[in-house]
């Protein structure tokens, strides 16, 4: 067997590269010229083209022109053919991305984007195909994108053209491959260029992009040299219509902690979420482990069947669009804003409500999640993402405490007992104090946790109490805690029930009836409660928010097991994807 030594050679070929003045277009022009092809570079910036041509010497020539100007196309085609003859190789690297929100796109901007990104590759190729057909050899390389198959905020026009490029590539292959002309696309993913400089200037965002790749890093220009030479040479004679979009093999997945069955969690690759209408993509920085996550982990929640990405207490950064880079905390409860309940300000009772971490919405134990933009609350710079992730559990208790205080008769003292020293109980204690109730006792039977609450958080934490109080908050929800709540509620008082630990038992209905004790079941929060609670956090009214322990997401399975075993002291573990 003898290999053809010229299999990857482009020596003697004539190539035309659009967008040759900068970025990946310039890289392609450099590579082909260095490999022996005669290259004509096209762009609008003459100074940059002159600099490029000086670097490649006699193997390069340039034409200054606008490839989007269809009226001038015949003249442009003639100028391209003048230095070395009609090109055998066409590389369409020129592109325009205005990065505008859908509501801001104008007809002029839309037309300009399509003219450069989609129309020019076709009509320029069409002009040179007859010469390629005559010699039964030609190579067309289009530049696709991550957005060829995935929507990005702020990229509706650009994404439409790149989706079009994928189909155009296949259509070119179907039309011309029998005449020896192959048409393929390269999808670079995240590479450093002038256009992507804002992405790479943001170190955190660049690192998140790198984490999505199988290789674990972002691309560098030389990574395209080999694939480009392959597609431009004889080596690719039986490859046509290929349209890698920057995800296959490179940007193909995100990492997620997936619940796969009772007491089983696995780190897996998961499909990248795609933002729908009115939604944005959020890169998750911090996500808390909730009691409902534990409930599902133990196999006690039929609403959360495996396999499923759990987690709904999250904060992170908006990716793309007009608010790209904005730090946010997530209200995970997605409701219909036009429902009767929502119009009444009681969104949490909307019968069509959904919450991330429960089908059909995957949760936030992952690198990314999509959310309606109305569900995001901006986080000030002085608040860490781990602290911001506490907004959800704090809002649960904020809502419950608000309802309890509103139901309390004005003649009664402002005193309360909270049952349970977990995150919701701690949050209820803080919410009560934030709303002006200073006399609060927290009951926590676990001595180690109780010492933590007393010594680290300066709470009045006790193993038990016989003191009745006008307001009792059951943050556990077992029959034994409901029995305690029934006994401790003062006549005419209020029991607020948050916990969902056990479905039945415990309430002393006779005493509650005879003593006119009000029982209130509470679920999550209203949108206004969530925002009010977040503002109280930013203002410092809910304390230093230091009752957390941070761990990497990959250690999530161990964290769940330790919580189950009672080995975790802080009320909240925050996982960091």
**Residue 525 is a catalytic residue:** no
Cα–Cα distance measured from residue 520 to residue 408, given in angstroms and rounded to the nearest whole number: 11
| Nearest alpha-carbon partner for 128 in 187, 44, 52, 42 | 42
Pick the closest to residue 80 from 151, 18, 153 (CA basis): 18
| DSSP secondary structure code for residue 116 in this structure | I
The four Cα atoms 2, 7, 9, 11 give a dihedral, to 10 degrees, of 80
Number of H helices, E strands in the chain: 19, 24
How far is C-alpha 7 from the geometric centre of its chain's CA atoms?
Answer: 42
Quick one: tokens of 52? 């490029």
3-class DSSP state of 329: strand
Q: Which of 62, 158, 429, 452 is catalytic?
A: 158
Q: Which of 275, 186, 567, 552 is nearest to 386 (CA)?
A: 552
Within 8 A by CB and 6+ apart from 146, the residues are 152, 187, 189, 190, 245, 246, 247, 251
Q: Is the dihedral of CA 396, 553, 294, 357 positive or negative?
A: positive
Q: Of 186, 168, 265, which Cα lies nearest the Cα of 232?
A: 186
**DSSP per-residue codes, 17-33:** EETTTSHHHHHHHHHHH
State the Rg of the chain over Cα. Answer: 31
Candidates 90, 87, 92, 120; CA nearest to 232 is 90
Task: State which H helix or E strand residue 337 sits in.
Answer: none
150 Cβ neighbours under 8 A, 6+ residues apart: 159, 245, 247, 272, 274
How many CA atoms are closer than 13 Å to the CA of 127, on its beta-carbon side? 22
Catalytic residues: 158
């Amino acid at each position: 067997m003898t290999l053809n030594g010229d299999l990857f050679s482009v020596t003697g070929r004539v190539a035309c590269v659009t967008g040759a003045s900068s970025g990946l277009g310039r890289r392609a022009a450099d590579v082909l010229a260095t490999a022996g092809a005669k290259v004509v570079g096209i762009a609008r910036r003459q100074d940059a083209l002159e600099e490029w041509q000086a670097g490649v010497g006699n193997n390069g020539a340039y034409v200054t022109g606008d490839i989007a100007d269809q009226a001038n196309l015949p003249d442009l085609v003639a100028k391209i053919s003048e230095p070395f003859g009609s090109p055998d190789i066409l590389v369409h690297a020129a592109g325009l991305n205005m990065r505008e929100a859908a509501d801001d796109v104008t007809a002029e901007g839309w037309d300009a984007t399509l003219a450069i990104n989609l129309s020019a590759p076709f009509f320029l190729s069409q002009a040179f195909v007859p010469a390629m057909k005559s010699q039964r050899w030609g190579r067309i390389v289009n530049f696709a994108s991550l957005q060829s198959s995935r929507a990005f905020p702020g990229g509706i026009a650009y994404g439409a053209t790149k989706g079009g490029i994928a189909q155009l590539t296949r259509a070119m292959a179907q039309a011309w491959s029998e005449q020896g002309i192959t048409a393929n696309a390269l999808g670079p993913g995240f590479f450093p260029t002038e256009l992507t400089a804002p992405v790479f200037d943001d170190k955190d965002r660049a690192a998140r992009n790198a984490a999505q790749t199988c290789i674990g890093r972002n691309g560098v220009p030389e990574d395209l040299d080999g694939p480009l030479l392959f597609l431009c040479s004889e080596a690719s004679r039986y490859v046509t219509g290929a349209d890698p979009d920057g995800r296959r093999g490179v940007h193909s997945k995100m990492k997620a902690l997936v619940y796969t069955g009772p007491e089983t969690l696995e780190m897996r690759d998961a499909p990248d979420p795609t933002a729908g209408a009115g939604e944005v993509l959020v890169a998750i920085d911090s996500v808390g482990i909730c009691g409902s996550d534990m409930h599902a982990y133990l196999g006690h929640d039929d609403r959360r069947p495996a396999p499923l990405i759990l987690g709904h207490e999250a904060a992170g950064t908006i990716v793309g669009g007009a608010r790209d880079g904005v730090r946010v905390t997530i209200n995970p409860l997605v409701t219909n804003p036009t429902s009767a309940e929502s119009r009444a300000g009681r969104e949490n009772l909307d019968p069509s409500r959904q919450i991330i971490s429960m089908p059909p919405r995957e949760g936030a134990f992952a690198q990314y999640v999509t959310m309606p933009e109305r569900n995001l609350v901006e986080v000030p710079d002085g608040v860490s993402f781990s602290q911001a992730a506490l907004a959800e559990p704090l809002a649960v208790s904020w809502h419950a405490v608000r309802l309890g205080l509103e139901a309390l008769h004005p003649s009664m003292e402002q005193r309360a007992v909270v049952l349970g020293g977990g995150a919701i109980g701690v949050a209820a204690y803080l919410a009560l104090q934030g709303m002006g109730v200073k006399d609060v006792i927290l009951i926590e039977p676990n001595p180690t946790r109780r010492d933590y609450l007393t010594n680290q958080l300066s709470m009045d934490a006790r193993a038990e109490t016989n003191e009745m109080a006008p307001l009792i908050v059951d943050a556990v929800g077992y029959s034994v805690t409901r029995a305690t709540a029934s006994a401790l509620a003062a006549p005419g008082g209020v029991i607020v029930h948050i916990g969902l630990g056990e479905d039945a038992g415990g309430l002393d209905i006779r005493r509650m009836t005879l003593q006119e004790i009000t029982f209130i079941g509470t679920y999550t929060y209203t949108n206004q409660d969530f925002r009010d609670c977040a503002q109280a956090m930013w203002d410092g009214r809910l304390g230093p928010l230091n009752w957390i322990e941070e761990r990497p997401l990959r250690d999530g399975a161990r964290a769940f097991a330790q919580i189950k075993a009672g080995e975790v002291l802080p009320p909240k573990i925050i996982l960091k994807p």
